[in-house]
Protein backbone atom coordinates (compact mmCIF):
# COMPACT_ATOMS: atom_id res chain seq x y z
CA UNK A 1 0.00 0.00 0.00
CA UNK A 2 1.29 3.44 -0.95
CA UNK A 3 0.76 6.57 1.13
CA UNK A 4 -0.78 9.56 -0.64
CA UNK A 5 -2.21 12.50 1.30
CA UNK A 6 -5.85 13.46 0.88
CA UNK A 7 -4.74 16.70 -0.77
CA UNK A 8 -2.46 14.94 -3.26
CA UNK A 9 -5.14 12.35 -4.02
CA UNK A 10 -7.63 15.16 -4.72
CA UNK A 11 -5.07 16.73 -7.08
CA UNK A 12 -4.78 13.42 -8.93
CA UNK A 13 -8.56 13.16 -9.27
CA UNK A 14 -8.77 16.72 -10.60
CA UNK A 15 -5.90 15.95 -12.98
CA UNK A 16 -7.75 12.90 -14.29
CA UNK A 17 -10.80 15.05 -14.94
CA UNK A 18 -8.68 17.77 -16.61
CA UNK A 19 -7.09 15.20 -18.93
CA UNK A 20 -10.40 14.23 -20.50
CA UNK A 21 -10.52 15.01 -24.19
CA UNK A 22 -12.03 18.52 -24.53
CA UNK A 23 -14.88 17.26 -26.70
CA UNK A 24 -15.87 14.80 -23.95
CA UNK A 25 -15.40 17.28 -21.10
CA UNK A 26 -17.65 19.75 -22.93
CA UNK A 27 -20.50 17.22 -22.71
CA UNK A 28 -20.38 16.96 -18.91
CA UNK A 29 -23.49 18.63 -17.57
CA UNK A 30 -24.25 19.52 -13.96
CA UNK A 31 -21.72 17.16 -12.40
CA UNK A 32 -19.14 17.66 -9.63
CA UNK A 33 -16.19 15.56 -8.47
CA UNK A 34 -15.62 14.71 -4.80
CA UNK A 35 -12.85 12.81 -3.04
CA UNK A 36 -13.66 10.98 0.18
CA UNK A 37 -11.34 8.85 2.27
CA UNK A 38 -13.74 5.95 2.75
CA UNK A 39 -16.65 4.47 0.82
CA UNK A 40 -19.94 3.50 2.45
CA UNK A 41 -19.50 0.88 5.19
CA UNK A 42 -21.58 -1.65 3.24
CA UNK A 43 -19.11 -1.59 0.30
CA UNK A 44 -15.60 -1.06 1.78
CA UNK A 45 -13.75 -1.95 -1.45
CA UNK A 46 -15.61 0.56 -3.63
CA UNK A 47 -13.21 2.81 -5.56
CA UNK A 48 -15.75 5.23 -7.00
CA UNK A 49 -19.43 5.97 -7.23
CA UNK A 50 -21.73 7.97 -9.50
CA UNK A 51 -24.79 9.52 -7.87
CA UNK A 52 -27.12 11.29 -10.24
CA UNK A 53 -29.33 11.16 -13.28
CA UNK A 54 -27.43 9.98 -16.38
CA UNK A 55 -27.70 12.24 -19.42
CA UNK A 56 -29.58 9.46 -21.23
CA UNK A 57 -32.37 9.57 -18.61
CA UNK A 58 -32.85 13.32 -18.35
CA UNK A 59 -35.96 14.93 -19.70
CA UNK A 60 -37.74 18.27 -19.37
CA UNK A 61 -38.42 17.65 -15.66
CA UNK A 62 -34.69 17.62 -14.89
CA UNK A 63 -34.38 21.43 -14.67
CA UNK A 64 -33.14 22.83 -11.36
CA UNK A 65 -31.69 19.54 -10.11
CA UNK A 66 -28.73 19.42 -7.77
CA UNK A 67 -25.48 18.47 -9.50
CA UNK A 68 -24.68 14.82 -10.08
CA UNK A 69 -21.79 13.64 -7.92
CA UNK A 70 -18.79 11.56 -8.88
CA UNK A 71 -17.11 10.20 -5.75
CA UNK A 72 -13.58 8.77 -5.72
CA UNK A 73 -12.55 6.92 -2.56
CA UNK A 74 -8.97 7.30 -1.40
CA UNK A 75 -8.35 4.49 1.11
CA UNK A 76 -9.53 1.52 -0.97
CA UNK A 77 -7.65 2.91 -3.97
CA UNK A 78 -4.44 3.21 -1.96
CA UNK A 79 -4.94 -0.32 -0.60
CA UNK A 80 -4.64 -1.82 -4.09
CA UNK A 81 -1.72 0.36 -5.26
CA UNK A 82 2.01 -0.07 -4.69
CA UNK A 83 3.28 3.23 -6.12
CA UNK A 84 1.98 6.72 -6.78
CA UNK A 85 2.07 5.88 -10.49
CA UNK A 86 -0.36 3.04 -9.74
CA UNK A 87 -2.59 5.54 -7.93
CA UNK A 88 -2.51 7.90 -10.92
CA UNK A 89 -3.56 5.04 -13.22
CA UNK A 90 -6.29 3.76 -10.89
CA UNK A 91 -7.74 7.21 -10.21
CA UNK A 92 -7.82 7.88 -13.95
CA UNK A 93 -9.66 4.62 -14.59
CA UNK A 94 -12.10 5.29 -11.75
CA UNK A 95 -12.87 8.83 -12.89
CA UNK A 96 -13.48 7.67 -16.48
CA UNK A 97 -15.63 4.78 -15.19
CA UNK A 98 -17.85 7.12 -13.17
CA UNK A 99 -18.07 9.69 -15.97
CA UNK A 100 -19.22 6.86 -18.24
CA UNK A 101 -22.14 6.31 -15.84
CA UNK A 102 -22.95 10.03 -16.21
CA UNK A 103 -23.24 9.34 -19.95
CA UNK A 104 -25.51 6.35 -19.31
CA UNK A 105 -22.99 3.56 -19.90
CA UNK A 106 -23.60 0.62 -17.55
CA UNK A 107 -21.09 -1.63 -15.80
CA UNK A 108 -21.53 -4.49 -18.27
CA UNK A 109 -20.50 -2.27 -21.19
CA UNK A 110 -17.64 -0.76 -19.17
CA UNK A 111 -16.32 -4.24 -18.47
CA UNK A 112 -16.44 -4.97 -22.21
CA UNK A 113 -14.42 -1.78 -22.81
CA UNK A 114 -11.84 -2.68 -20.13
CA UNK A 115 -12.98 -0.29 -17.43
CA UNK A 116 -13.86 -2.87 -14.81
Dist CA 103 CA 54 (whole Å): 6
**In this structure, are residues 93 and 114 in contact, taking their beta carbons and an 8 Å threshold?**
no
pLDDT of residue 32: 96
Question: What number of other Cβ atoms are within 10 A of residue 24's Cβ?
Answer: 11
Going 107 to 95 to 6 to 85, the CA torsion angle's sign is positive
pTM of the predicted structure, to 2 decimals: 0.91
Whole-angstrom distance, CA of residue 95 vs CA of residue 50: 10
Per-residue pLDDT of the chain (116 residues; tens, 9 = 90+): 899 999 999 999 999 999 999 998 999 989 999 999 999 999 999 999 999 999 999 998 888 889 999 999 999 999 999 999 999 999 999 999 999 999 999 989 888 877 66
Strands (E), the chain: 31-36, 48-51, 68-73
Count CB atoms within 10 A of the CB of residue 105.
Answer: 17
Amino acid sequence: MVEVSHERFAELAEQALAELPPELAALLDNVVLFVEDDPPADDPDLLGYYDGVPLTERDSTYAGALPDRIMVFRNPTLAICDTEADVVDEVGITVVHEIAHHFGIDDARLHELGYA
